[in-house]
């Protein structure tokens, strides 16, 4: 990732984030105010009490906000005073808004914004970065703590997150993606470079990585997985649809794929290898000791010769399901 330049606009904790001015959001007509009822109105003491906050947080609110308080201003005050967890709790309770924060560069100790954030340059946040809706960065993104995005994430450069990352939408990263802890996305994931995850990764849609994909824990995907380099999973690997890898597949746990598997190199697992359809490798296919290799688990027996083929440099040991086709497979 290129170095982060000093920004024309810096968001330090002492300066609350403000939504984009109305004329910039809507040049004709009024600004869209379709936000949650709680966020649209000023937040009162009774409103906070109804959400059953912790005693310490409620005392803080009473000391600083005797009257009604603006939703985003209250989030800014909490972050500025180091109460980031309280700000995240409030966003959980009152939900996102349609406000938009637009900056040239983003530099902050922490940021909790109820709407969408658009950054035209690089973004560098030392602690937690959380948005109620989408996050768009035209440069690189570094987050020193947890990354939480309420909708889609779009980053043109590289992403480095030193905590966990959780997204309620699709994730598009132009360069590499590095997450030190758990990675969760309810939508699809597309990475233009390498993907490194220091714990488990769970993808709700398709997963496409242009270069190598490395996950220390389990790798789960509710769609298909396509990797332009090698794939390495430190535990189990599961894909609801197909698995296509240009290089080697190394999985220390069970490997289970709903459709077919194609790898340009070898396919090695520490547990069983299970494919709903065909299983192809340019090199060897090897399951863990005392485990079997299964292909065509979702294919009728009469269709095995063309839809449950097992192809590799040599026939795998303990091939318990599928139709052996002599010769290495191809990723083409």
Specify burial of residue 56 (Cβ count, 10 A radius: 0-12, 13-18, 19+).
Answer: exposed
**Residue 60 pLDDT grade (very low, low, confident, very high; cuts 50, 70, 90):** low
pLDDT value at position 4? 31
pLDDT value at position 35? 37
CA within 13 Å, CB half, 109: 13
Other CB atoms within 10 A of residue 6 CB:
8
pLDDT value at position 323? 96
Residue 39 belongs to what H/E stretch? helix 37-40
Lowest mean pLDDT among 2-16, 184-198, 231-245: 2-16
Non-local CB neighbours of 29 within 8 Å, separated by 6+ positions: none
Distance (Å, whole) CA 63 – CA 72: 18
Non-local CB neighbours of 316 within 8 Å, separated by 6+ positions: 273, 284, 285, 286, 287, 293, 310
**Residue 105 pLDDT grade (very low, low, confident, very high; cuts 50, 70, 90):** very high
In tens, the pLDDT along 17-54 reads 444 333 333 323 333 333 333 343 455 554 555 555 55
In tens, the pLDDT along 223-272 reads 999 999 999 999 999 999 999 999 999 999 999 999 999 999 999 999 99
Mean pLDDT of 202-226: 98
Distance (Å, whole) CA 323 – CA 258: 17
Lowest mean pLDDT among 86-100, 191-205, 236-250, 260-274: 86-100
Give the pair of three-digit tokens for residue 111: 């940021």
Tell me the range of 67-81, 90-104, 252-266 where mean pLDDT is highest.
Answer: 252-266
- Residue 327, phi-psi category: left (phi > 0), alpha (psi -120 to 50), beta (remainder): left
Mean pLDDT of 278-307: 97
3-state SS, 127-153, equals CCEEECCCEEECCCEEECCCEEECCCE
Non-local CB neighbours of 188 within 8 Å, separated by 6+ positions: 170, 171, 203, 204, 205, 206, 207, 208, 223
pLDDT value at position 94? 84
pLDDT value at position 74? 85
pLDDT value at position 83? 86
pLDDT value at position 65? 55
For residue 76, pLDDT beyond 80: yes
Distance (Å, whole) CA 247 – CA 56: 54
Average pLDDT in the chain: 84
Distance (Å, whole) CA 129 – CA 110: 6
For residue 199, pLDDT beyond 90: yes
Question: Contact at 8 Å (CB) between 149 and 114?
Answer: no
- What is the phi/psi pair of residue 39, to 5°? -75, -30
Maximum Cα–Cα distance for the chain, whole Å? 78
Other CB atoms within 10 A of residue 298 CB:
13
Give the pair of three-digit tokens for residue 13: 């904790």
């Amino acid at each position: 990732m290129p170095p982060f330049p000093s920004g024309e606009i810096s968001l330090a904790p002492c300066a609350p984030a403000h939504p984009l001015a109305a004329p910039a959001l809507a040049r004709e007509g009024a600004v869209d105010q379709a936000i949650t009822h709680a966020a649209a109105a000023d937040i009162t003491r009774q409103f906070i009490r109804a959400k059953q906050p912790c005693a310490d947080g409620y005392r803080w609110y009473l000391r600083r906000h005797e009257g009604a308080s603006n939703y985003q201003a209250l989030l800014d005050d909490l972050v500025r005073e180091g109460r980031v967890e309280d700000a995240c709790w409030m966003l959980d309770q009152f939900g996102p808004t349609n406000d938009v924060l637009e900056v040239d560069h983003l530099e902050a100790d922490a940021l909790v914004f109820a709407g969408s954030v658009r950054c035209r340059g690089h973004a560098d946040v030392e602690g937690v970065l959380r948005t109620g809706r989408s996050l768009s960065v035209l440069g690189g993104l570094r987050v020193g703590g947890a990354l939480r995005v309420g909708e889609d994430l779009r980053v043109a450069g590289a992403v480095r997150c030193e905590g966990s990352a959780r997204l309620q939408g699709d994730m598009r990263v132009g360069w590499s993606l590095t997450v030190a802890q758990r990675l969760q996305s309810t939508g699809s994931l597309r990475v233009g470079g390498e993907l490194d995850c220091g714990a488990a990764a769970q993808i709700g849609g398709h997963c496409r990585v242009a270069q190598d994909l490395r996950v220390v824990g389990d790798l789960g995907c509710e769609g298909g997985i396509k990797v332009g380099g090698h794939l390495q999973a430190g535990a189990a690997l599961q894909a609801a649809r197909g698995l296509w890898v240009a290089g080697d597949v190394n999985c220390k746990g069970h490997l289970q794929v709903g459709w077919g598997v194609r790898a340009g190199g070898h396919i090695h697992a520490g547990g069983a290898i299970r494919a709903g359809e065909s299983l192809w490798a340019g090199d060897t296919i090897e399951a863990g000791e005392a485990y079997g290799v299964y292909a065509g688990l979702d294919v009728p027996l009469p269709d095995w010769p063309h839809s449950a083929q097992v192809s590799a440099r040599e026939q795998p040991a303990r091939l318990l399901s599928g139709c052996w086709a002599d010769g290495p497979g191809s990723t083409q």
